[in-house]
Amino acid sequence: MESAHDYVIVGAGSAGCAVAARLSESGDRVLLLEAGGRDRSPNIKIPAAFSKQFRTKLDWDYSTGPEPGLGGRTLYVPRGKTLGGSSSMNAMMYVRGRPLDFDGWAEAGCEGWGYADVLPLFRRAEDNQRGASEVHGAGGPVTVSELRSPRPLTKRFLDAAQAAGIPLNPDINSPEQDGVSMSQVTIRNGRRCSTADAYLRPARSRANLAVRPHAHALGIELEDGRATGVRWRDRRGREQVARANREIVLAAGAIGSPQLLMVSGIGPRDELERAGIELAVESPEVGKNLQDHPFFLCCFESTVPESLADAEKPKALAEYLLRRSGPLTSNVGEAMAFIRTRTGLPAADVQLLFGPAYYHDHGFDTIDGHAFSLAAALISPRSRGELRLRSASPDDKPELVGNHLTEADDVAALIAGYRRLQEIADMEPLASARGRPLVPDHELETDEEIEAFVREETELLYHPAGTCRMGADQSSVVDPQLRVRGVDGLRVADASIMPTITGGNTNAPTIMIGEKAADLVRAAASS
C-alpha cells in the first residue's frame, strides 16, 4: 500500500508536532507518523502522574549500559510512545538553556543557530502566563504557566537556597540563568500541555494534515541518492510506504532518529556491516556524540505535612476534578537552581532540583509518609557516548552507552553539587522540616564517600541528545539546515541534532528545533 504527500514527518514528539502543524499551515499535504497511540491516558493529562507512564505501553523503555563509570550499572531511559512523544511524559519544566549554548553552536559553524537567531522562535512557540516581553512570547501554541498549587515545602527550599547564598532569579529563561527559581511549566488550566495539545489539536481540522498513530516507521526509501518515502507498519502488521514529493523529516528523537538512519543504510560503515545492512550513505557520526544529564538524589523524611504524600487521596482527586488545583497539578520538580561549582566557569554547570516528594528509582521506590527530595544534575557534561544497533531490525532496541562520569571534571562537579545540597538542607526554614535521611541513609563526609555514593546512585534526567550532530564540517550528520549529508530530501529535527546538549531540561529547545525546521523546509520550498 502506498500514499503520497508533500511532506512526511516521522515522530509526533516535541519537535515533530511543531513541524507538522507549521508545514500544514500553508496548505501542503502533510503526513505525521507516530509509533505510539493516542494520548488519552489520565497519567498523561494529570501532571503529578507522569511517572506512572514509566515501563507501560506509553514508554519505549530504553536503557543505557553497562556504564563503565558507574560500576557497570544500566540506567533507565524512558521515552514517550504516544502523540506528543516525551512532551506527554516529561516533568513539564520549561527551561530553554543558556545563550552561550546556542552561541556555541553558531561559533562552531552552525550559522543561524545563535541565541539572537533562536530567541524569536522560542517567543513564537510560547504563550507565557507572564505576558509578552523582549524575552517571552504570548499567544503562541505552548502554554507556559506558574504552578497552581505548589507545596509549602517548596517555599522552604527557595528560602533555604537563598540563605545558602544562591540568589533568587525570577526568570531562569532570561539571558541570566544563575540563581534559584520556582519552575515554570508546560501546564494549561491544571492539565499537561504537550506538543500534541499545543500544535496538533488546533491543526487537526485541516484536511491537508493526516496524523497516523500506531504507525511504526521501519526505514527510509532511497532512490538515486534521494529520500523518497517512509516504510511503516500499522497496528495490524500491514506494511505501507508513504511517499514524500518534497521532503521527509525525521523527528523520532535522539534514539529513534539515528536508529532509523542506520537501518536504512545511512551511518558508520563498520556498524552497518556488523548488523548486516547494505551501506547506502557513509555517515560515520550517526549514533555518536550521545549526551544526557546525569543526576543523583538526596531524600529526607519531612517533619511537616507539606509534601505530595496526600496527592492520591480522594480529597486531592476531588479538588483536581472540580477545580483543577491541588497536589495533582504539581509537576513534582517544583523548583530549581542553577549554580557554578567552581570559579572561572562561563555559566552554571549544575542544576539543583527540588521535589516535595520521595522520588527515588524513578518513582518505583515508595515510602509511607511525608518526604522531600533534592537533586543535582550535571548540565555541562564532558562525557560522550554512542548508540549502536543490535541488529538490522527496527524492532530491536539499540544498545546505548553514555560513558557517564568517566571524566574527572564531571565527577568533581557532582561532588560539589552534593555538598551544596547538604548546605541548603542545613538552612532554615528547610532544616526544621528535615527529618531522617533516607537517601543516603547516613551523612557522608569525605570526597571519596560522596564519589562512591554518586557513582552508585547516578541516573539520567531523561534528556538524550546529540546522536545526529549538526555541524558545518563534512563529518557532521546534518548541516545547519538540518539536511542529512549525502541524501537529498531528508532532514532531522529533534534533540539528536544538538552539537552539545543545552544547559537544562531539553523539551523547550527541542520544540524550538521543530519551529526552526519548519522555517527551513518552507524556505527551501519557496526558493
Active site residues: 463
Q: Of 460, 495, 502, give the one whose Cα is nearest residue 13.
A: 495
The CA-CA-CA angle for residues 357, 254, 245, to 5°, reads: 135
DSSP secondary structure string for all residues of 485-516: TT-BTEEE-SGGG-SS--SS-SHHHHHHHHHH
Burial of 241 (0-12, 13-18, 19+ CB in 10 A): middle
What percent of the chain is helix, strand and coil (3-state, nearest 5)?
Answer: 30, 25, 45
DSSP, res 197:
I
d(CA 15, CA 458): 28
d(CA 514, CA 251): 8
DSSP secondary structure string for all residues of 263-316: HTTEE-HHHHHHHT---SEE-TTTT-SBB--EEEEEEEEESSS-SSTTTTSHHH
Cell numbers describing residue 97? 538553556
Which CA distances in Å does 218 have to 144, 212, 234? Answer: 35, 14, 11
d(CA 368, CA 348): 35
Cell numbers describing residue 144? 507556559
d(CA 111, CA 473): 12
The set of residues, in sequence order, having a beta carbon less than 8 Å from that of 519 and lying 6+ positions away, is: 22, 121
